[in-house]
Amino acid sequence: MDRKLDPSRDDLPLMANTSHILVKHYALDLDVDFESQIMEGSIVLFFESENRCRKRSSSTEETCQSESSEARTVRMPEPCHVPGTSTRTFSSKTGYSDFVICGKGEKDTSGKDGNHDNWEQASGISSSKYCCDTGNHGSEDFVLVLDCCDLSVLKVEEVDVAAVPGIEKFTRSPKLTVVSELRNQIVRELVTLPADRWREQLDYFARCSQAPGCGELLFDTDTWSLQIRKRGAQTATDFPHAVRIRYRTNAQGRSVTWTSDQSGRPCVYTMGSPINNRALFPCQEPPVAMSTWQATVRAAASFVVLMSGEHSAKPTQLQEGCSSWHYYVTMPMPASTFTIAVGSWTEMKPETCSSNDLAAERRSFSPSDADFGCVGVCCHVDYPCRFQNASAAIQEIIPHRVFAPVCLQGACQETLLPLVPLCLSAAHSVLGTHPFSRLDILIVPANFPSLGMASPHIIFLSQSTLIGRSHLCGTRLCHEIAHAWFGLAIGARDWTEEWLSEGFATHLEDVFWAKAQQLAPHEAREQQELRACLRWRRLQDEVRSSPEEMQVLRPNKEKTGFVSDSGSSVIKHGLNPEKVFMQVHYLKGYFLLRFLARRLGDDTYFSFLRKFVHTFHGQLILSQDFLQMLLENIPEEKGLELSVESIFQDWLESSGIPQADDILWESLHQRQIALCLHYALATPGGRPEPPQCSASHRAHVRKRRPAGL
């Protein structure tokens, strides 16, 4: 892999060599210090090497192909260069001397004992002082490459998992005499335990993460990565399968934001940074590296720790003034979906318990209650899947909590709390089984850069959604809930195909919100037409004001999903600051799905969508996976002139507004004219028109006004 990075490019490099070795589980152990604005501690990574990963992947594909005629293959092209940049975004920094840190870890001695800090490296060129092989061939040592940025790495060591009491049950070959091989065999057995042993698996992951080290490993860093090797380990199979990294974050690290909440109290949260979580912990960023995780986080007792996790964690009191929080996830997810928020949050509870809340409690259940395997066969890797549980299938409202600074309690109780069960129930009525067992919703600080963000088991909402009537809060909540299916349970294998997440969520938010409001069919259609007109106008404005290359939904075209031989790749324009403000993936994706739904009819389309969700949940997809399955389910008379190639050409691989359906655009044009006329007739004097009306629309309105207006 070429480590030389081009700082003039705005592509985001994904450096991890995931083709050779994959992280299957992360165990984090961190202390949060608000005075110095750092998180410090360790992370243990449990690996599965290349050969075993490929064997299991082949087995899964064979099973899925027997369930569906759609064959999903992974293409591996020639090695590619990995450009990058040293651009930084700095967070505001405020000291809080009245808050303490609990259980501080090792002090940083970078520069004195060979440890490294990749925050200081801005050249974009590896500072590696050793010659090594990142693959599993040749005579040099194998090198593990992790995505890592803005972190101070203090120590890397192999973990002696063989020292854990009771671990001998995972040694299938008692004849093994080489201790390193024994340790790797234990991890291999542990990461492949069946789903019905998930509690045992988590318990042993926790025990192994606390096991002593058995030898330091050589490591080095550059701007975007951490490289680790063990002398004499020439292949990924020989490399240690359990590795502990002791590190600390940087106050200006780009994965987390240290700030104050609306009540002036300090807090920290992950903000959905363009560089994802690599400045929070060393990890494998490529989405193909789907893993589970568990995390123990310590903070002052006055703080609440919220995190992506399957249970509603409660604090454990440690020494005076310090608490510990523990979360876990058993559904394999990309590391980028991990989310944490630490602050003086208050749980907002309704003044009275509604019938919806009681129904949610009656229908709630934990993974331990599940009978995994009673509904049907899934095509994903083995985990405790809710889609295989009959109880989950009828659970309209999952258990949920709402958190916010105490000063927003009134607004939350009035606006947000009544909407949550309605929106969850509406989503279930459209797509069926909720992919996640529970949900926390947090009103984040005022500097949060968007209206919302969805992660497994937790949603961030901007305080802006609480202002005014319930419409903004409801639609945004529906959008983020939709991401549980599209974006999380079903993810894009190539992150340049953002429309697979944002286009679906934008299209579904209208459907969910109409059902949450219990609108009659004609009222729902009227509301959705209005929102389509506003989005059409917004898309026109964005197309006029943005670079053409940024308007393409599938910018890599036929190379979409390709990676280098090592597994590294780049996210095209992933670091472009303009991209944060663009909505083309939302809007063009929305109009493509609206176009397809019109072709099929709503009943046929949403019936297909439920089938698609059941087939692909727990997996990563490309655009062709969705389109090929869709076209196979379109009645022949409705699929005329539609093909994957034509949709690619008209919608996904071209800039500008698609010309695939002139009738669609003409109807929106006429609808917007009618709306302008409606506003003109409803306004005394007929003077003000809605702000979305263009000059041509206003001209049409003036021509069509009745005399005297």
Q: Which residues are catalytic?
A: 480
Let me know: does 476 contact 441? Beta carbons within 8 Å: no
Nearest to 475 by CA among 441, 519, 507: 507
DSSP string for residues in 619-665: EEE-HHHHHHHHHHHS-TTT-TT--HHHHIIIIISS-SS--S-HHHH
Give the distance from CA 261 to its chain's centroid.
24
Q: Give the residue carrying structure tokens 């590294």.
A: 568
Let me know: does 121 contact 7? Beta carbons within 8 Å: no
Q: Which residues pair with 441 in a beta bridge?
A: 402, 459
- Eight-class DSSP state of 446: T
Q: 606, exposed or middle or buried, with CB in 10 Å at 0-12, 13-18, 19+? A: middle
Length of the chain counted residue by residue? 709
Let me know: does 419 contact 426? Beta carbons within 8 Å: no
Q: Give the residue carrying structure tokens 């209005």.
A: 530
Query: In degrees rounded to 5, what are phi and psi of residue 64?
Result: -65, -35
Q: Give the residue carrying structure tokens 């359990």.
A: 242
Q: Which residues pair with 32 in a beta bridge?
A: 39
Q: Which residues pair with 333 in a beta bridge?
A: 291
From its phi and psi, is residue 155 left (phi > 0), alpha (psi between -120 and 50) or beta? Answer: beta
- Return d(Cα 288, Cα 277) in angstroms, integer: 15
Question: Strand 400-404 to strand 439-443: parallel, antiparallel, or no bridges (unpaired)?
Answer: parallel
Nearest to 504 by CA among 589, 623, 580, 425: 589
- Return d(Cα 117, Cα 153) in angstroms, integer: 6
- Interacting residues of 310 by C-beta distance below 8 A, sequence separation 6+: 327, 328, 329, 330, 331, 367, 436, 437, 438, 457
First vs last C-alpha separation in the chain: 70
- Interacting residues of 71 by C-beta distance below 8 A, sequence separation 6+: 61, 65
